[in-house]
């Protein structure tokens, strides 16, 4: 036994006999602990390990600093300031490199589960895709999602995956399709796709966006066939759903015409810094050219936006429109909504997004159409945030790191449910 002690546990070889007697009594008490006090104490230690690992991930630091800097710093301060019993409790905190990695992976998986649950609960959702190359070099695909949660739109990281070979539109689409299938996410509720503008994403015939649209349309076609079969079984007169889209478009008084007439009502900020005397023809020309450039860009990015202009007007202010401005299939609900005085007050107090989400359950057909406008991503700023985080986390010294878990803590708005993770653990201290 002495040979085993000196050969395998050299750090304990010089310990007095009293140390081993105390250790034996402690283990016996643990086995006989009927109040679960020891288990509760161990759970608290694991909670601390989770929290410290979370801090390491959020600060984009190497996992090894838990063992080399964080814990030694805690113990040094405790030895100087706290009694021996408190110091002994802190020595039980586990922050080995592999342990920190394991805890970060568990928390990241928990966050992903929460986000997926929110997406599944949301009536509709949109995705944003960003592709970048890290220092490996390895292509990283980063996906965000935007959805409805607790009466307001939210954005969060959906998933991140490495593509070690090719990065074609087929590869990107397969990654999304596999994730949707694995997490049981419905394609039918996907109403918007935003990308970083890479050729593989936007190519007209075989790009990622085109493939996503085809997938979503296939689900729509499936629903149509199911509806037709139901009608046939019921022996109804009609077997198809008709969508009426002929509407009288609102007259278009463009901002360019406003500027031409020196009418700055569309530009409240401009009114603050200008007066009519200083509103020269040359400045008028500059503003008009700038607006024309913006219009051209909008036409390039949104070629079919004119077909849905009524939706934007309806979303902004339904109470300023007339029934003839609305498609026939929405007119009944539109008239009901417009006739309710409290709805007009809600539109003023809640704002556009929360207003339509609130009335989704009551006026579902109209609200669903509006959600197709307000839920999709409005910009690619999350792509830039993802690139910055990727550069900060996966450095030359950490070029073999699987970045997905660490990246989630930097980009996700959802905190991990640490108490749930502890409750699910069958063994408090993970192996290291």
| pLDDT for the residue numbered 391 | 76
In this structure, what are the phi and psi dihedrals at residue 367, rounded to the nearest 5 degrees?
-65, -40
3-class SS letters over the chain:
CHHHHHHHCHHHCCCCHHHHHHHHHHHHHHHHCCCCHHHHHHHHHHHHHHHHHHHHHHCCCCCCHHHHHHHHHHHHHHHHHCCHHHHHHHCCCCCCHHHHHHHHHHHHHHHHHHHHHHHHHCCCEEEEEEEEECCCCCEEEEEEEEEEECCEEEEEEEEEEEECCCCCHHHHHHHHHHHHHHHCCCHHHEEEEEECCCHHHHCCCCCHHHHHHHHHHHHHHHHHHHHHHHHHHHCCCCCCCCCCCCCCCCCCCCHHHHHHCCCCCCCHHHHHHCCHHHCCHHHHHHHHHHHHHHHHHHHHHCCCHHHHHHHHHHHHCHHHCCHHHCCHHHHHHHHHHHCCHHHHHHHHHHCHHHHHHHCCCCCHHHHHHHHHHHCCCCCCHHHHHHHHHHHHHCCHHHCCCCCHHHHHHHHCCCCCCHHHHHHHCCCCCCCC
Half-sphere exposure of 393 (CA within 13 A, CB side): 27
| pLDDT for the residue numbered 154 | 92
Q: Look up residue 13 and give its two tokens.
A: 């070889």
Burial of 214 (C-beta count, 10 Å sphere; 0-12/13-18/19+) = exposed
Q: How many residues does the chain have?
A: 432
Q: Are 101 and 67 in contact (CB under 8 A)?
A: no
| pLDDT for the residue numbered 214 | 78
Name the one residue in this structure whose structure tokens are 């394991």.
102
Burial of 165 (C-beta count, 10 Å sphere; 0-12/13-18/19+) = exposed
**pTM for the whole structure:** 0.69
How confident is the prediction along the chain (432 residues), in pLDDT tens digits per residue? 666 666 666 666 666 666 666 666 555 554 544 445 445 568 889 999 999 999 999 998 999 999 999 999 999 999 999 999 999 989 999 999 999 999 999 999 999 999 999 999 999 999 998 887 766 677 788 899 999 998 889 999 999 888 777 778 888 888 899 999 999 999 989 988 887 665 555 454 457 777 887 776 665 554 545 445 555 555 554 444 433 333 333 333 355 555 566 555 556 566 565 555 566 777 778 888 888 888 787 777 666 666 567 888 888 889 988 988 888 889 899 999 999 889 999 988 988 889 999 998 889 889 888 888 888 877 777 877 877 887 777 766 676 677 888 889 988 989 999 999 998 875 544 444
* Strand 139-149 to 152-163 pairing: antiparallel
Distance separating alpha carbons of residues 346 and 362, to the nearest angstrom: 14
Model pLDDT for residues 258-269, shown as the tens digit of each residue: 556 655 555 656
């Amino acid at each position: 036994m002495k040979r085993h002690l000196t050969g395998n546990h050299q750090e304990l070889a010089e310990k007095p006999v009293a140390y081993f007697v105390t250790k034996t009594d402690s283990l016996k008490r643990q086995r006989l602990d009927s109040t679960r006090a020891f288990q509760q104490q161990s759970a608290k230690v694991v909670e601390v390990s989770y929290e410290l690992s979370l801090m390491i991930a959020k600060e984009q630091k190497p996992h090894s600093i838990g063992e080399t800097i964080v814990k030694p710093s805690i113990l040094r301060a405790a030895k100087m300031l706290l009694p021996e019993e408190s110091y002994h409790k802190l020595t039980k905190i586990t922050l080995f490199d592999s342990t920190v990695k394991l805890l970060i992976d568990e928390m990241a998986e928990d966050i992903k589960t929460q986000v997926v649950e929110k997406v599944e609960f949301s009536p509709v959702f949109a995705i944003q895709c960003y592709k970048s190359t890290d220092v490996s070099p390895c292509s990283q695909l980063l996906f965000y999602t935007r959805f409805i949660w607790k009466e307001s739109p939210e954005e969060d990281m959906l998933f991140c995956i490495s593509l070690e070979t090719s990065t074609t539109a087929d590869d990107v689409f397969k990654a999304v399709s596999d994730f949707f299938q694995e997490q049981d996410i419905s394609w039918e509720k996907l109403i918007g796709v935003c990308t970083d503008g890479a050729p593989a994403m936007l190519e007209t015939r075989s790009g990622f966006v085109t493939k996503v649209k085809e997938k979503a349309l296939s689900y729509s076609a499936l629903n149509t066939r199911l509806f037709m079969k139901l009608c046939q079984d019921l022996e109804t007169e009609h077997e198809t759903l008709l969508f009426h889209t002929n509407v009288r478009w609102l007259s278009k008084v463009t901002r360019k015409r406003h500027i031409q007439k020196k009418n700055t009502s569309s530009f409240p900020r401009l009114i603050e810094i200008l007066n009519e005397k200083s509103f020269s023809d040359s400045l008028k020309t500059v503003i008009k050219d700038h607006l024309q450039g913006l219009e051209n860009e909008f036409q390039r990015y949104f070629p079919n936006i004119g077909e849905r202009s009524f939706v934007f007007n309806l979303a902004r202010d339904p109470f300023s429109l007339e029934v003839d401005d609305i498609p026939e299939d929405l007119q009944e609900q539109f008239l009901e909504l417009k006739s309710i005085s409290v709805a007009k007050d809600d539109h003023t107090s809640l704002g556009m997004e929360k207003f339509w989400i609130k009335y989704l359950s009551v006026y579902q057909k109209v609200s669903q159409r509006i959600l197709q406008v307000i839920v999709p991503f409005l910009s690619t700023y999350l792509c830039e945030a993802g690139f910055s985080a990727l550069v900060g986390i996966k450095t030359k010294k950490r070029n073999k790191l699987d970045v997905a878990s660490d990246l989630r803590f930097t980009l996700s708005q959802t905190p991990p449910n640490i108490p749930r993770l502890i409750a699910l653990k069958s063994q408090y201290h993970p192996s290291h």
